[in-house]
A and B are shown apart, each in its own frame.
Chain A
Amino acid sequence: MENPLKQFAIHTLIPIHIGGYDVSFTNSSLLMVIAFALIVFLFFVGTSRKSVVPGRLQSAAEMIYEFTANMVEDNAGHGSAKYVPFVMAIFLVVLFGNILGLVPYSFTYTSHIIVTIALSLMIFLVVVALSLKNHGFGFFKMFFPSGAPIFLAPLLIPIEVLSFVFRPISLSVRLFANMMAGHVMLQLFAGFTVALGLFGILPLTFVILLTGFEILVALLQAYVFALLTSIYLKDTLEAH
């Protein structure tokens, strides 16, 4: 049976080197280009007819927009409308990465920890930068819950700081682990199907069920990623 980790391998399609760095166009980059093309298609072609009664593509574009806008509004609160494009970009990048990865023989760029950690670190840095800009030093008040007795500060502040710093780690590891585990499972059971011959019908049934489950996970993880982004962005708007 083939090594189930091989599916995550990066292949160079066009070798590119800039300043000593290998920034070759790979299968991961190709999937990102496809995802970008689909996003542009959905939001450009889908909105080109501008009909009051929307067609399928326009409905999809509107639904994704309203879903994201409501999520940001509900979780980041008042004045958060300006964050909608940012949260939506994150949502769509993760969503298309997860979904396109389920197409056989394609590649899941969200199954690579370097991609998920880059996304979550970017979110973390955006949150910290905007918080410092909006609250100044008031930002550091969030590490000490208001109303707590002052003698608990030596205990509470390190805990709060730690939980804040762990946000990007948990965010990235959650997505990466979900994607990788799902794809390893699919590969393993698909391998059993081939190996067991006639009895392969059992793991095949499981693969079918698992594929449905993985589609759900793909949607859910994109949602969770965008949802947590909205919740973190709330800190940039509200004083503590």
Chain B
Amino acid sequence: MLARLPSIRLTAAGLMLALVSTGASRAEEAKEGMPQLDPHSFASQLFWLAIFFVLVFLFLRFVGLPRVTAIIDERAKTIGGDIASAELLRAQAAEAEKTYETTMAAAHGKARQLLAETHEQNSAALTEKTRAAAATFDLQVGEAVSRIDVARTEALKGIREVARGLAADITIKLAGHAPGADRVALAVDNAAGQENA
């Protein structure tokens, strides 16, 4: 059986070669059967188990677990701090956005107002100018019309003189005698009246 445990023996041998070689092995004396029921080993097993368990418990209680819980607490604190600062930054961003929107809205309103004012001013000026221009035009048109009337009257008057002269000349050529000036004027006026009608 000892031959089946070379690794354990090698491990132990480095430290306790002399002791191992002098130590009596119970397995060689043990009879066939369950080694678990051999009471010779009970004292040793209980003794070492008690030391082992107490050491494990004390180590965990005073060294191992405080170290682990410290790490876990530290992590929770770090994560909590990160979340808090992220929350703060988000609030700041929201604040900035609100400020931006307020400013934007104010600027929009101002621009609209300015636009409306300018539009009003422009249209008033335009109306004024249009009216002035229209008055000027009316005046000029009126003057032009009266000038045209005068010119037409004069022209018409001229045409009648020419027509009378012509009529008198034509009558002399055709009839051989000069018609009375008032008869020529009447005939011309009649012809002009017919044409006008």
| Interface 9-residue window, one of B55-63, B112-120, B121-129, B163-171 | B55-63
Among candidates B11, B33, B40, B65, residue contacting A22 with C-beta atoms closer than 8 Å? B40
Place the interface of chain A in its size category: 35 or more
Cβ < 8 Å to A, chain B residues 1-44:
1-2, 4-8, 11-12, 16, 19-20, 22-27, 30, 32-38, 40-44
Instruction: Return B125 CB to nearest CB of chain A, in Å.
Output: 73
Is A70 in the interface zone, CB < 8 Å from B? no
Which residues does chain A contribute within 8 Å of B44, judged by CB atoms? 10, 12, 16, 22-26, 28-29
Is B138 in the interface zone, CB < 8 Å from A? no
Q: Known contacts being A32-B48, A50-B74, A62-B72, is A10 close to B35, with CB within 8 Å? A: yes
| Interface 9-residue window, one of A104-112, A157-165, A202-210, A220-228 | A104-112
Mark B41-76 against chain A: 1 for CB-CB distance below 8 A, else 0: 111111111101101110111011101111110110
Q: Which residue of A lies closest to B41 (CB)?
A: A10
Is B92 in the interface zone, CB < 8 Å from A? no
Q: Which residue of A lies closest to B65 (CB)?
A: A85
Instruction: Return A143 CB to nearest CB of chain B, in Å.
Output: 29
B59 close to A40 (CB less than 8 A): yes
Considering the chains assembled together, what is the distance between the CA atoms of A9 and B4 in angstroms?
Answer: 12
Which residues does chain A contribute within 8 Å of B64, judged by CB atoms? 39-40, 43-44, 47, 61
* Residues of chain B whose beta carbon lies under 8 Å from any beta carbon of chain A: 1-2, 4-8, 11-12, 16, 19-20, 22-27, 30, 32-38, 40-50, 52-53, 55-57, 59-61, 63-65, 67-72, 74-75, 78
